[in-house]
């Protein structure tokens, strides 16, 4: 039996188990990382990709644990911006200034998507297998004083491309039993662990606030939980399995093939396909939330699937809402390392080898801009505890996406000055840095109030 954990802290133990470098406030890697066989497969696959790209070596990433390391992580703002000039999201590749929404949709946005496809997250296959959803179980229970109906759903992916590969998407949906009609739903991308690891986690990270599910139900909404690793394994050894392996018929990736973040986003979109068929769900008011690596995946989902109405992007850091060009906390070289490279396209490795972050054709502000004009809530914790994800770098990206939001008739953050911790900036892009560590918990109430404004408006339109 596996147990789904609250994402606010579950990601901490997962990162401690798999990441090669982490903040000093996190636990050691312990014994939950890849097996020796998996490690060998990961390194072989990364080396194979480097060979395809003609790369002989990658620069080392930042070390978050050893202060005497020559690669120790930088938390000095004076050294944080070696590449201060960002690509302009409103200037096309041929130099044309984008001055109308029509030019954004027809010219500039497709250019940005192509750059992310080619060099950052990878290119999804033109056609992907169909998914048949099965309602594997329905339970009626009382959660936090609310009578609810929970559906356990399995998305069976057609594996005709390679019958040796099976992909079954793990999704649960909980809605109020007494709802008079379809309700808004917030879907979280979540981790799932066996009971032994759950017990260890709860001993180390006791809950310190109301569960996000309780807050959602209190508004009369429903919630869903999607397990991304049921779609694609979170390691390089799994790239010939999962949805990536299935689409490749079990063969290794090419340099511009999609990585795990894009694959997880594909799975989130397939969950949305199901929501559109369920009369308990108001498919016009579905939001997505993720923390840490799943914050990255949630932001990628928002960028590529316009059906999601709103997103809560928590502590997503490098590869998510944080500017790649920043030298603060995790950097490009960490994401290109063997513990994380599978998240990205193979081409991304170039920027930790012969090229650098300043050579990237796009940056995180343009990923945020791809979500426009839909509302987005970006969250991070204090540097002491969540410095690895760089709250200021995420703020800077959100601010730099503002011109696209305003072009499309929406509100930007309202400032380009990094606000004091605890300040809520709430245009159609919202940002808040909380005082806790690597957790999404403190900002859930702020996000849900933010979402409520938009969901209430959509009901009257």
What does the pLDDT look like over 295-346, one tens digit per residue?
999 999 999 999 999 999 999 999 999 999 999 999 999 999 999 999 999 9
Per cent of the chain over pLDDT 90 is 87
| Whether the predicted pLDDT of 29 surpasses 70 | no
Looking at residue 14, its pLDDT comes to 40
- Please tell me the predicted confidence (pLDDT) of residue 24: 30
* Structure confidence at residue 224 (pLDDT): 98
- pLDDT tens for each residue of 189-198: 998 877 777 7
Residue 138 main-chain phi, psi, to 5 deg: -130, 130
State the average pLDDT over residues 9-31: 37
**Residue-wise DSSP of 340-373:** TGGGS-GGGGGGGTTS-GGG-S--HHHHHHTTTT
pLDDT score, position 202: 64
Check residue 117 and give its pLDDT. Answer: 98
Asked if the model's pLDDT at residue 12 lies above 90, the reply is: no
Instruction: Read off the tokens for 150.
Output: 């929970």
Inter-residue contact 412 to 402 (CB < 8 Å): yes
Percent of the chain at pLDDT > 70 equals 90
Q: Which secondary structure element, helix H or strand E, spans residue 3, and what is its range?
A: strand 3-4
23 pLDDT more than 70? no
Q: Determine the Cα–Cα distance for residues 73 and 331; give it in Å rounded to an integer.
A: 9
pLDDT tens digit sequence for 64-78 = 999 999 999 999 999
pLDDT above 70: residue 9: no
The token duo for 31 is: 């014994």
Give me the pLDDT at residue 200, please.
Answer: 72
Q: Is residue 306 left, alpha or beta, with left meaning phi > 0 and alpha meaning psi from -120 to 50? A: alpha
Nearest alpha carbon to residue 145 among 210, 217, 212, 207: 217
- Asked if pLDDT for residue 4 goes beyond 50, the answer is no
Which H or E element spans position 206? none
Whole-model pTM? 0.93
Res 3 pLDDT > 50: no
């Amino acid at each position: 039996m596996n147990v789904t954990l609250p994402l606010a802290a579950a990601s901490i133990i997962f990162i401690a188990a798999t990441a090669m470098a982490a903040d000093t406030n996190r636990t050691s890697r312990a014994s939950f990382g890849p097996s020796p066989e998996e490690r060998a497969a990961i390194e072989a696959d990364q080396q194979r990709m480097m060979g395809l790209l003609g790369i002989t070596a990658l620069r080392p990433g930042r070390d978050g644990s050893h202060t005497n390391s020559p690669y120790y992580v930088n938390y000095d703002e004076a050294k944080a911006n070696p590449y201060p000039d960002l690509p302009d999201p409103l200037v096309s590749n041929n130099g044309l200034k984008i001055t109308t929404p029509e030019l954004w949709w027809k010219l500039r946005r497709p250019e940005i998507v192509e750059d992310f496809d080619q060099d950052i997250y990878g290119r999804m296959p033109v056609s992907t297998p169909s998914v048949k959803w099965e309602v594997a179980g329905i339970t009626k229970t009382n959660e936090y004083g609310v009578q609810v109906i929970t559906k356990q759903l399995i998305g069976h992916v057609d594996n005709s491309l390679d019958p040796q590969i099976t992909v079954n998407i793990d999704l649960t949906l909980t809605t109020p039993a007494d709802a008079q009609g379809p309700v808004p739903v917030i879907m979280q991308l979540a981790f799932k662990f066996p009971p032994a690891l759950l017990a260890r986690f709860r001993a180390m990270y006791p809950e310190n606030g109301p569960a996000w599910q309780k807050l959602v139900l209190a508004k009369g909404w429903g919630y869903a939980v999607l397990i991304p690793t049921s779609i694609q394994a979170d390691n390089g050894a799994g790239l010939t399995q999962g949805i990536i392996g299935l689409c490749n018929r079990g063969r290794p990736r090419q340099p511009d093939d999609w990585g795990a973040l894009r694959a997880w986003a594909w799975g989130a979109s397939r969950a949305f396909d199901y929501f559109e068929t369920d009369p308990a769900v108001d498919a016009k008011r579905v939001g997505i939330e993720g923390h840490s690596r799943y914050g990255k995946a949630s932001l990628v989902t928002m960028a590529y699937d316009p059906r999601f109405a709103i997103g809560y992007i928590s502590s997503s850091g490098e590869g998510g809402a944080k500017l790649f060009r920043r030298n603060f906390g995790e950097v490009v070289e960490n994401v290109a390392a063997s513990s994380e490279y599978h998240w990205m396209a193979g081409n991304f490795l170039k920027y930790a080898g012969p090229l650098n972050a300043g050579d990237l054709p796009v940056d995180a502000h343009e990923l945020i801009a791809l979500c426009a004009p839909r509302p987005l809530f970006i969250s991070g914790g204090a540097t002491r505890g969540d410095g690895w994800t760089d709250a200021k770098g995420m703020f800077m990206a959100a601010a730099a996406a503002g011109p696209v939001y305003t072009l499309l008739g929406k509100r930007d953050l309202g400032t380009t000055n990094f606000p004091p911790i605890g300040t809520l900036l709430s245009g159609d892009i919202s940002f808040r840095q909380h005082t806790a560590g690597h957790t999404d918990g403190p900002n859930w109430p702020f996000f849900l109030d933010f979402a409520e404004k938009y969901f209430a408006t959509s009901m009257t339109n």
